[in-house]
Amino acid sequence: MRHNLQMPNDQTSPATNAPYLSVEELSQAVKRTVETAFDYVRVRGEISQPRTPASGHIYLTLKDDRNALSAVIWKGTAQRLSVQPEEGLDVICTGKMTTFGGQSRYQLVVNDIEVAGEGALLKQLEDRRRRLAAEGLFDNARKQQIPAMPATIGVVTSPTGAVIRDILHRISERFPTHILVWGVNVQGIGSADQIAAAINGFNALPKDGPVPKPDLLIVARGGGSLEDLWSFNEEIVVRAAAASSIPLISAVGHETDTTLIDFAADVRAPTPTAAAEFATPVSAELQARLSETDARLRRAVRNRLSVAEQAIKAAERGLLHPEDHIGRLSQSVDLAATRIDTSIYRRLDRLQLRLAAVTDRLVSPEQQVTSVAQSVSLLERRLDHSLSAVMERAAHRLIQSERLLEANSYQRVLDRGFALITDEAGKAVKTSASALPQSKVVIRFADDERLAQLDPDAPPSPMRKAKSSQKPASSSATTQEELF
C-alpha cells in the first residue's frame, strides 16, 4: 500500500531532492496503515504472561511456536469478557491492530476472547479444578447439613423459563414453603458476577430483617453446552458457593453435566427438579411418620402406666394395714400372757413340791403347815399382783401402740394434761436434781407456756422421801418369809 505525503518545500534535501519525515509523522503513517489494513482480525494463540496493573487494563502476549504478538484489553472490555485470560490458555482473540509509537511496536486491542476448541476449555477447567481443590474449597469437612424442613428457600436462577417453574411446582406439590427468587443471567457476559452477587446477597440478609434469611439455597440452570454452563465454572462463583454460610444445593444442567460449583456446593442435584426434592420432604409422608410416631408414643405411655400401676399394687400388698398391725400386737400380748401363766403355774408346782418336802421334815407339822400356808397365800397374792401388772402393762402397750398409730406429736401428750419443763435455754429438765435452786424454768402446756422460778426453801416431795427411806433388802435371809 502506497501513501503519498505532502511535505513542505523547505524540507527537500539539496543532495537528493527527496522529502524526509519526522519520527512522529512516520509513526502516525504506520499507525493509520496498520489500523486501516487490520481493522477487524481474529487471532489464535496461546496466552502468555497476562498481567493486570492498577489501571485495570490487561496486558498479555499471544504466541505460537515461533512468533509473539502483544495484546491489550482495556478495563471496560475486561469487565465484560466471558473468558478471563489465563496463562497457557489456547484462545481466539477478536480485535483490531494498532501501533504504539512510544515503543515502536504493534499490538492487538482485544474486544473478545473465546477458547479455541472444547479440548482447550476442558484443560482450563481441569487446571482450575485442581487449583481450587488444593485450596481446600471442595473438602468434605466444609459441607453443611441440609435442613429437613426449611422455612424459607432462596433460589438463584433465571427468573423466566422452565427451571424456575419446575422448582416452584415441585416444592408446592411436596411441601409448600416460602420461596425467595433472586433472578440472574445464567450465561453470557456478566452472568458469573450476577450469580456470585446473588449468593453473597442471600448470605448478607439479617436474620430477623424484613426479608427473611433463607435456610437453604438452590443455584439452578437448565442444560447446555460447556460454553453455556461456563459461568458456573468461574472462580468467583465457586468461591461464593464455598463461602456460603447457608447450605447450598447446586442443580446446573443435566445429570451428565458437571461444573465446578457442584464440587463447592453442600449437595449436588442432577437436575433442578431433583434439587426441589432434596430441599423439601413429602407432606403426606411426613404426616404418616408423625402419625406413626404418635401411636408409638401412646403405646409407650400406656406401657409405662401399666408398669407403674403394677408396682403400686405390689407396694400396697407389702404395706401393713393398721388393723393388721394392731392384730399382730394383740397376738404378741396373748402369747406373752400364755407364757406368763405357764411360768407361774410351773413355779407354783415347784413350790408345792418343796413345801411337801419341807413338811415331811418338820417336827411340828401344824406349825409348818400354817407357815407354809401363809407363805403360799402371800406368794399367791404377789403372783396375782404380778400377773395383773403384766396384763396391765401389756394392755397399756397395746393402747400406746394404737395411739402412736394415730399421732406421734408431743403436742398430743400436752393435750392429755402433761406439761413439758425446760430451762431458759430450751433444754428439758428430766430430774429434780437437774433443776438448780432459784433457777427459772419454762412450763409448756398444751395451749401456752409460763415462766416459773423454783423455790429454794420448798421441802422435798413426799414421794422422794419415801423412795429415799427405803432400804435395800438384806442378802442374807433368816426366815422362810424373807426367802419369798
DSSP run (H or E) holding 469: helix 462-469
Minimal CA–CA distance to 64: which of 46, 48, 50? 46
Confidence (pLDDT) at 3: 42
Q: In what order do the strands lie in the sheet with 449-453?
A: 420-423, 440-444, 449-453
Tell me the mean pLDDT per 10 residues along the chain, length 484. 45 62 87 87 91 92 91 90 81 90 86 79 84 93 92 93 91 89 90 94 92 94 87 94 95 88 94 91 72 82 85 73 72 79 82 77 67 84 85 86 70 79 82 73 86 74 52 44 35
Domain 9-116 is found in CATH 2.40.50.140: yes
Cα–Cα dist 214/339, whole Å:
91
Is the separation of the CB atoms in 71 and 108 below 8 Å?
yes
Q: Which of 267, 275, 221, 273 is nearest to 248 (CA)?
A: 267
Query: What pLDDT does 482 receive?
Result: 40
CA distance 165 to 384: 112
- CA–centroid distance for 229 within its chain: 41
Using DSSP, state whether 9 is helix, strand or coil. Answer: helix
pLDDT at 201 (0 to 100): 96
Whole-angstrom distance, CA of residue 175 vs CA of residue 263: 27
CB-based contact 405:325 (threshold 8 Å):
yes
User: Is the CATH number of domain 143-281 3.40.50.261?
Assistant: yes
What pLDDT sits at residue 9? 47
Q: What grid cell was written down for 324?
A: 393388721
pLDDT of residue 408: 64
**Distance between CA atoms of 333 and 390, rounded to whole angstroms?**
10
Q: How far apart are the first and last CA of the chain?
A: 168
3-state class percentages of the chain: helix first, strand second, coil last, to nearest 5: 50, 20, 35
